[in-house]
Structure 1
Amino acid sequence: MKRLILVRHAKSDWSLGMADHDRPLNVRGRASAAAIGRWLREKNLRPDQVLCSTATRTRETLDLLDLDAPARFEDRLYHAAPEVMLSSLQTARGDVVLMLGHNPGIAEFAARLVARPPGHPRFAAYPTGATLVAQLDIDSWAEARMGQAEALEFIVPRDLI
């Protein structure tokens, strides 16, 4: 069994006029990322590996999750399509992997990865900070395919704050 924690970065700051890749989180985003991190720790959902986009807002989200796991930062995860996200996941080594990315790719990846979507009304939108916990009945991430994951949990920051 493998477990994936799929997190969209928290709310970013558009007011600074920065390049998209360089935008940091805003105040709400920082609070949301910390809340998601607390929720993951309370549920004992601690990754042993992180795959993260190189964007400032994903790195900052990861820092605020406060999960203390080794991270691999990948340029290809910046605004990645679902197939790219799956390809990255297939190279993972941990049993519990956290992947941090962006919409619209992360929403489509989540929808295509699970056999049945969770009943949460915000799943299809996958808003900032949205977090899916899914389980795959595989021995190696190289075996991961679309449609084979079971959704165990889904939460958005608004559920916690």
Structure 2
Amino acid sequence: MDLILWRHAEAEDEHEGVVDMDRALTSRGEKQAARVAAWLDRNLPEGTRILCSPALRCEQTVLPLARKYKLRGELAPGATPAAVLAAAQWPDAKHPVLVVGHQPVLGETLAQLLRIEGGSLPVRKCGVWWLRARERDGDGQTVVWAVQSPDTV
């Protein structure tokens, strides 16, 4: 199974009158999302399930991909790695899954899957980590298939 974790693009800072869930992308964030979406569109297999946090900045990040997606409340800010992995049905889903979400949970999920001590990895805004589950000699493994940032696509 492939699991693709995509952090939302650059969003406006929290300020009075705007709650965290309603923070929109900046113009720079919109450009980041468009660049990464173009790369993903070229590389995502057909049938990839796309799950998105209901936060506005995540939905605005996934929109340029122009594919069907589902908003999932369990991916909202404050989510846990267990919730991310359950939503994605890792490692047993029949199709690749793209999750659009937030830090620190994406970094925590990566650290857990890659068995890295310290609890979390940094994930740049609009960064993508593409993981693949496989079995070798009876041992389940997680392989990093690709890592992209909006500056490198």
Taking structure 2 as the reference length, the TM-score comes to: 0.81
Equivalent runs, 1:11-160 vs 2, <5 Å: 11-14=10-13, 17=16, 18-42=18-42, 44-46=43-45, 48-66=48-66, 68=67, 70-79=68-77, 80-90=79-89, 95-114=95-114, 124-137=121-134, 148-160=141-153
**Identity across aligned pairs (percent)?**
29
Deviation of residue 23 (structure 1)? 0.6
What is the letter of the counterpart of residue 69 of structure 2?
A
Question: Between Structure 1 and Structure 2, how many residues are aligned?
Answer: 142
- Alignment RMSD (CA, Å): 2.4
Structure 1 stretches (4+) deviating beyond 4 angstroms? 91-94
Gaps in structure 1 of 5+ consecutive residues? 117-122, 139-146
Q: Distance in 1 between matches of 2:72 and 2:113?
A: 20
My pick for the range that moved more, 76-85 or 9-18, is 9-18
Deviations for 1:96-155, whole angstroms, at most 9, x for unmatched residues?
111011001111112222368xxxxxx9310110101111137xxxxxxxx832110001
Contact 1:4 1:133 in 2 (8 A): yes
Contact 2:14 2:20 in 1 (8 A): no
Aligned to 2:9: 10
My pick for the range that moved more, 86-95 or 5-14, is 86-95
Deviation of residue 15 (structure 1)? 6.5
Gaps in structure 2 of 5+ consecutive residues? none
Q: Distance in 2 between matches of 1:26 and 1:71?
A: 22
Deviation of residue 19 (structure 1)? 0.4
My pick for the range that moved more, 103-112 or 123-132, is 123-132
What is the letter of the counterpart of residue 26 of structure 1?
T
